[in-house]
Structure 1
Amino acid sequence: MVSAHSDAARLLGARVRESRLRLGLSQEDVADLAEIHVTNLGKIERGQANPSLTTIVRVAGVLDVDPGDLVRGIGLDHLPPRSHRLTAADLIRERKARS
């Protein structure tokens, strides 16, 4: 069994699946309405895909939810580790400290 792409992908997928089930729609219904392949929707719901912004907005529109609600609260801590953890604010602060 393929594991989730990341915690972020897993959370997004769970929210998509929950919204779909709440409406009583099949994956085929949502995929058809969103104009994506049903296997892609399945991978999204299982957290095995990193959908594009276009796909997230299409799926959200079909499910009648705000795309922001699907990604709300998902942050850097939900992604795989990076070689550095600096944010833009950290970089600016470091540059100001050096000058």
Structure 2
Amino acid sequence: MSQLLRYWHARPALRELGHRVHQRRKALGLSRRQLAQRSDVWSPQVWLLERGLKSGPVEKLVLVATALELDSSELVRGLGLRRLPRRQPPAPEARED
């Protein structure tokens, strides 16, 4: 399996985010180029976002959400992003007295 395909399969939340952007863009009747112009995001970045390959910095997501006439929280709500496990403090060393 290619590295890109493995990455894509490992990122369901990113794929869902891209799907949401794509669906909203279509509902508004916008082309990718028009969305890129409205959001001041480079057109290939819109393509990568919609394909679930790359989300970019948070600032770009906020710009895209605004261009889609959404609050940015609507794009990410309920995506089920995995939380990293909390780091456990190191166990105290046993003292030999």
- TM-score over 0.5 for the pair: yes
Please report how far the alpha carbon of residue 86 of structure 1 lies from its aligned counterpart in structure 2 after TM superposition.
1.9
Matches within 5 A, 1:11-90: 11-74=16-79, 75-76=81-82, 85-87=84-86
- Structure 2 residues not aligned, in runs of 5+: 93-97
CA distance in 2, matches of 1:87, 1:73: 21
Please report how far the alpha carbon of residue 66 of structure 1 lies from its aligned counterpart in structure 2 after TM superposition.
1.2
| Number of equivalent positions | 85
Rg bigger for which structure? 2
- Structure 1 residues not aligned, in runs of 5+: 78-84
CA distance in 1, matches of 2:22, 2:76: 13
What is the TM-score when the length of structure 2 is the normalising length?
0.75
Identity %: 28
Deviations 1:19-68 (A, max 9, x none): 10000000000001111111110000000113211011000000001111
Select the structure with the greater relative contact order (CA < 8 A; seq sep ≥ 6): 1
Cα RMSD between the aligned structures? 2.3
CA distance in 2, matches of 1:6, 1:41: 17
